[in-house]
Amino acid sequence: MYRWPQGRIVRLVCFALVLLVAIDLAINGAWRGFGTASEAVGAAATRQTIYGIIFTVLSVGVFAGGMWLVGFWKRSVDFLIDVDGEMGRVEWPTWPVLWKTTLVVAIVMVLLGLLIVGVDWLCQSFVSALNALGSGN
């Protein structure tokens, strides 16, 4: 592997995510909505087998490609090593600061939601008024 000891934590997380995506693709792609192979008969069983083979090959390809990107491609490995180095320099907030900023974000989200609802109501009222004028009522 290219420069393995460096950026080990970020790279292991990326390896785990690649594995998770490959497993999800294999399981959900091959069997979601098709039932089990024992329930299918005839053409449905053949179709399900073909889907299973296709999604298995895709998941192995995703896994192999992801492992190559995270473990051997120099540009992506250097990027992950840089990310790992930057994470060590991050100043993480204390609990009171985190609580206050979370509260500010929640309040702003509520205010923006109310603003969107208000603008939507005004636009709907305007269009309804225009429709009433156009229909002659």
Q: pLDDT confidence of 137, banded at 50, 70, 90?
A: low
Residues 45-57: what's their mean pLDDT? 77
- Indicate whether this model's pTM tops 0.85: no
- Among all chains, which residue has been given the structure tokens 């889907």? 51
Q: pLDDT confidence of 35, banded at 50, 70, 90?
A: low
User: Domain ranges in the chain?
Assistant: 1-90, 92-137
Give the amino acid at 19: L
- Asked if the model's pLDDT at residue 125 lies above 60, the reply is yes
Tens digits of residue pLDDT in 4-22: 666 777 778 888 888 888 7
Tens digits of residue pLDDT in 57-97: 888 888 888 788 777 778 888 888 888 888 888 888 999 99
- Asked if the model's pLDDT at residue 39 lies above 70, the reply is no
| Residue 92 vs residues 83, 121, 137: alpha-carbon distances, Å | 15, 41, 62
Give the amino acid at 107: I
Arithmetic mean of pLDDT over the chain: 81
Share of the chain above pLDDT 90, in %: 27
